[in-house]
Amino acid sequence: QVYLVQSGAEVKSPGASVTVSCKVSGYAFTGYYLHWVRQAPGQGLEWMGWINPNNGDTHLVEKFQGRVAMTRDTSISTAYLELSSLGSDDTAVYYCARDLPSVFWGQGTLVTVSS
């Protein structure tokens, strides 16, 4: 069975950085792109980009370029989303998903940015 298990909730101060992890199991990690989607409280879904776990290539929505990094560690089948220079509008639940459209999603990680 396919599982995507994300790291736990985080509370960060404005200007800080945060890293969210997504550990997969049940399939070949390098065989599918991993996408990241976020959802601010009470708002819609926002697609952020993807990482190709096979070679580390990434594609980010323009608004996140320079502030967001997507990486992976193939030895432990885990992808990472790092956001820097956090602002209050980064408060959101962050999801990883195996390719899109997908039935395989992580459970979501709440990142709260608050002073």
Partner 1 sequence: DIQLTQSPPTLSVSVGDRVTITCRASQSINSWLAWYQQKPGRAPKLLIYKASTLQSGVPSRFSGSESGTEFTLTISSLQPDDFATYYCQHYDNYPRPFGQGTKVEIK
* Least separation in angstroms between CB 27 and partner 1: 16
Residues 6 or more apart whose Cβ sits within 8 Å of residue 19 = 7, 80, 81, 82
- Which is closer to partner 1, CB of 18 or CB of 93? 93
Q: Which of 26, 28, 55, 59 binds partner 1 (CB under 8 A)?
A: 59
* Least separation in angstroms between CB 52 and partner 1: 12
Our finding on whether 41 is near partner 1 (CB under 8 A) is: no
- Return the SS3 of 15: coil
Q: Which of 54, 71, 84, 102 binds partner 1 (CB under 8 A)?
A: 102
Per-residue CA distances from 73 to 45, 54, 79, 80, 115 (Å): 26, 10, 6, 8, 32
Place of tokens 């432990």: 76
Q: Using CB under 8 A as the criterion, which residues of the chain lie in contact with partner 1 when the complex forms?
A: 35, 37, 44-47, 49, 59, 61-62, 95, 97, 100-103, 105-108
